[in-house]
């Protein structure tokens, strides 16, 4: 565990140094270090023999849900990875997209009042290159199905984690491996899968986060939220305290976004330049039939602004998928109540992204 944590921390140290000048806070030395990030003979998928890591470790959550399989695989050489949510009998799915900077695949039929039945959803690092992992999931689904005459559908969404000193990304092979490893009832948290190298709170340089999840069962209704936070904003707990991001190392205090701006103004400093690429990816999934899945997605996505502030900025590309396996009906739990419960689970999931961080 210590070796894994050190590897991720080194990635963030490199990021902080390389982006400090751009943020209006650092020095020229940090900018020069960033220029050394990709020398001749760059480390990338085409120049290295990469070995996927698939062994799940603590922390993780476990639950009983055969209709939802989860797989994770990552390249320690990055570190970067992907997390796959596989529905053996498909799931009705919609997507809510907010902010000004996102990238995804197979999205046209999932937003603006549309829904579709998906076989899988793939969250990946590697920026737009990481969308290749979703094609690997689809290819593996075809192989898994015996190459039958059927079109499998995988939607992919990515985070930008290329602050590393390499250009390694989750590729088609990694997507295939992640699907092969998919099993029901287990979700790995922290620095695993897509959670290898995300961060949050760009005011004073980002701090590392990971992937998180939360599950609850009410009667026959199963409800889960899974997320990876790579946000411009900082993470808040239920007491209204910042627990990750916006750390002023000079004072040791975490500042709100407003306080960051006010500090810059009072110090007559150059306004901080936000990170260009930030994304929070989320899946809320239930086994209960939902009459208005799109509204559920909006409700839960909006609620996450309590946990991440600011949220949905012009520098963020936030995507929330809402899916149902449609296994049961529960008249005692309507769409509104389901949204309330899912919103609280979403906050739990955001806080759980810090599970693997000392």
Residue indicated by tokens 């922290």: 190
- Compute the residue count for the chain: 358
Burial of 142 (0-12, 13-18, 19+ CB in 10 A): middle
Contact 178, 171 (CB under 8 A): no
Contact 170, 130 (CB under 8 A): yes
- Spell out the alpha helix ranges (H) of the chain: 2-20, 28-35, 132-144, 172-180, 257-266, 293-303, 335-352
Catalytic option among 138, 209, 227, 279: 279
Is 16 annotated as catalytic? no
Concatenating the DSSP letter of every residue in 12-45 gives HHHHHHHHHTTTTSS-HHHHHHHHTSS-SS--BT
Helix axes 28-35, 2-20, angle to 10 degrees: 120
* Closest listed residue to residue 189, CA positions, set 282, 56, 85: 56
User: Which residues are identified as catalytic?
Assistant: 279
């Amino acid at each position: 565990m210590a070796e894994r944590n050190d590897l991720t921390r080194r990635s963030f140290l490199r990021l902080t140094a390389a982006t400090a000048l751009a943020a209006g806070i650092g020095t020229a030395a940090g900018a020069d270090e960033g220029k050394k990030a990709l020398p001749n003979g760059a480390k990338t998928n085409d120049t290295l023999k990469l070995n996927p890591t698939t062994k799940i470790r603590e922390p993780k959550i476990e639950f009983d849900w055969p209709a939802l399989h989860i797989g994770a695989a990552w390249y320690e050489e990055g570190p970067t990875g992907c997390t796959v949510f596989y529905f053996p009998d498909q799931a009705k799915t919609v997507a809510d997209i907010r902010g000004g900077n996102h990238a995804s695949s197979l999205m046209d039929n999932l937003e603006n009042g549309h829904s579709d039945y998906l076989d899988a959803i793939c969250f990946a690092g590697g920026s737009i290159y990481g969308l290749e992992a979703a094609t690997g999931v689809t290819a593996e689904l075809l192989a898994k199905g015996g190459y039958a005459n059927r079109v499998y559908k995988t939607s992919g969404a990515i985070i930008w984690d290329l602050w590393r000193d390499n250009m390694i990304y989750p590729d088609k092979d990694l997507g295939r491996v992640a699907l092969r490893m998919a099993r029901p009832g287990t979700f790995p948290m922290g620095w695993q899968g897509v959670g290898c190298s995300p961060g949050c709170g760009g005011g004073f340089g980002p701090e590392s986060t990971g992937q998180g999840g939360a599950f609850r069962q009410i009667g026959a209704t199963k409800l889960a939220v899974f997320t990876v936070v790579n946000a411009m904003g900082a993470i808040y707990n239920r007491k209204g305290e910042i627990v990750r991001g916006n750390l002023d190392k000079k004072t040791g205090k975490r500042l709100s976004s407003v306080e960051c701006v006010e500090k810059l103004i009072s110090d007559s400093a150059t306004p901080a330049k936000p990170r260009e690429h930030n994304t929070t990816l989320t899946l809320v999934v239930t086994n209960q039939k939902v009459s208005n899945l799109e509204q559920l997605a909006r409700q839960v996505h909006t609620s996450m602004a309590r946990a991440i502030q600011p949220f949905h900025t012009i520098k963020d590309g936030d995507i929330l998928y809402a899916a149902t396996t449609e296994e049961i009906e529960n008249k005692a739990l309507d769409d509104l109540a389901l949204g309330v419960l899912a919103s609280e689970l979403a906050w739990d999931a955001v806080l759980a992204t810090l599970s693997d961080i000392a």
